[in-house]
């Protein structure tokens, strides 16, 4: 079985789907890797490193698609809403695709993939279970984003994070508030603490309190209670507008006291809730920073502009997205380990086995046989139920 790694074509994307270190493990399982020339260069992985580990490097993108049984990408058509469509003519019926596909984004892009006859697996749909931990690319990229958000904030803030006692007097520590204590938020908390900031965090899920406190941060408790705060996958559920209105009122004071606010409250498939209003930003001290990790989905801050940095009322609001691509070496390393673990789970004796009784395979399988087959996605888009297929293992 041949695994193809094309160069990423989303503007500014620097990651690569597989790194040289994972090639020998795939080869041992009977998988050959074919790479488009230069695919790993921007991430710090030259072609020669791939060749030294046993991968074949070819100069032509079309050759990668024509040769490979399975294509692995970081941003595939769906998550790549700028240039991803250019790859559609290169796919062929029966080919396998693994990558970020944004399955709860636009049904049209998913149907584009289905109509090519591609059997696609969306890494965003990976179940958050112990068995699937090594394959959880969404958590890996969230970890990178949480780290990078704090580094960006520290670089932008006209103050320093740690408390210093010097001959010129004592410098008070920076105050960081993290809103949303998922994977990205928890990494932001840990990074801010390592840099010496006094760190607080808020999350509507009660279970997050223990995780926040274990990292040495203060958990902000508000006298309101969310209904069904999280789904069975551990993700936050959307709340009604009256809840968010009360939440904003109570968070206002905490935001005003903070030098840095990092927002990471994302609800899968939904527009991000606005948690930091214009009025809250106006009450922050001049020079303060807001880093909005939910910018791509509309933003948690009312002043966020997706992909931009704006200064309002003396406060810098950073709305960059795809932050993981700004740390491409380690982001690619983590993603490659996740994807290679999934491939090794999917392939037995050099052949793909679609064991639909396995929740990892069943939950990530997005398109097959010209149809969108994922039950969660069909329910999300209110598509009619498919006729039942026989369950079990097939190649």
- Residue whose token pair is 């994307």: 13
Of 128, 194, 326, 378, which one is the catalytic site residue? 128
Residue 239 annotated to the active site = no
Residue 133 annotated to the active site = yes
Of 14, 76, 120, 139, which one is the catalytic site residue? 139
Of 51, 53, 235, 237, which one is the catalytic site residue? 235
Structure tokens at 160: 């320093």
Cα 216 to Cα 236: distance, rounded to the nearest angstrom: 22
Cα 338 to Cα 135: distance, rounded to the nearest angstrom: 4
Cα 217 to Cα 239: distance, rounded to the nearest angstrom: 25
Residue 139 annotated to the active site = yes
Structure tokens at 29: 């399982």
Tell how many helices (H) and how many strands (E) occur in the chain: 12, 19
- Residue whose token pair is 């050759």: 63
Of 87, 112, 136, 259, which one is the catalytic site residue? 136
Cα 159 to Cα 175: distance, rounded to the nearest angstrom: 10
Residue 235 annotated to the active site = yes
Asked if residues 42 and 360 have their Cβ atoms less than 8 Å apart, the reply is no
Ranges assigned E (strand) in 86-174: 96-100, 119-122, 164-166, 169-171
DSSP-based three-state secondary structure for 199: strand
Of 133, 213, 214, 245, which one is the catalytic site residue? 133
Asked if residues 34 and 64 have their Cβ atoms less than 8 Å apart, the reply is yes
Question: DSSP code of 43?
Answer: G
Residue 79 annotated to the active site = no
Question: DSSP code of 154?
Answer: H
Catalytic residues: 128, 133, 136, 139, 235
């Amino acid at each position: 079985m041949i695994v193809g790694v094309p160069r990423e074509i989303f503007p500014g994307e620097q990651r690569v789907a597989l790194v040289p270190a994972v090639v020998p493990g795939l080869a041992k399982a009977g998988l050959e890797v074919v790479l488009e020339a230069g695919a790993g260069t921007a991430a710090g992985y030259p072609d020669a490193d791939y060749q030294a580990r046993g991968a074949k490097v070819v100069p032509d993108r079309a050759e990668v698609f024509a040769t490979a049984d399975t294509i692995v990408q970081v941003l595939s058509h769906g998550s790549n809403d700028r240039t991803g469509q250019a790859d559609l003519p290169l796919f062929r019926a029966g080919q396998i695709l693994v990558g970020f596909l944004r399955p709860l984004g636009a049904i049209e892009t998913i149907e584009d993939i289905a109509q090519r006859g591609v059997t696609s697996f969306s890494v965003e749909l990976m179940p958050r279970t112990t068995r699937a931990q090594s394959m959880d690319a969404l958590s890996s990229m969230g970890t990178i984003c949480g780290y990078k958000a704090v580094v960006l904030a520290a670089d932008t803030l006209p103050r320093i994070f740690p408390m210093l006692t010097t001959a010129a007097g004592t410098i008070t520590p920076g105050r960081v508030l993290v809103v949303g204590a998922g994977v990205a938020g928890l990494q932001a908390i840990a990074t801010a603490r390592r840099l010496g900031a006094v760190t607080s965090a808020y999350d509507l899920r009660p279970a997050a309190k223990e995780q926040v406190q274990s990292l040495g941060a203060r958990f902000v408790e508000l006298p309101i209670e969310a209904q069904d705060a999280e789904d069975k996958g551990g993700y936050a559920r959307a709340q009604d507008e009256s809840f968010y209105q009360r939440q904003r009122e109570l968070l206002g004071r905490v935001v005003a006291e903070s030098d840095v606010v990092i927002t990471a409250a994302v609800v899968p498939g939904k527009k991000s809730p606005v948690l930091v209003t214009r009025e809250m930003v106006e009450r922050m001290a001049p020079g303060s920073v807001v880093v909005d990790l939910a910018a791509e989905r509309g933003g948690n801050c009312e002043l966020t502009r997706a992909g931009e940095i704006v200064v309002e009322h003396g406060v810098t609001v950073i709305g960059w997205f795809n932050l993981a691509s700004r740390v491409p070496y380690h982001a690619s390393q983590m993603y490659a380990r996740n994807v290679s673990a999934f491939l090794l789970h999917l392939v037995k004796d050099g052949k793909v086995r679609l064991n639909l009784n396995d929740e990892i395979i069943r939950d990530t399988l997005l398109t097959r046989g010209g149809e969108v087959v994922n039950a969660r996605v069909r329910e999300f888009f209110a598509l009619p139920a498919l006729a039942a297929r026989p369950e079990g293992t097939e190649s």
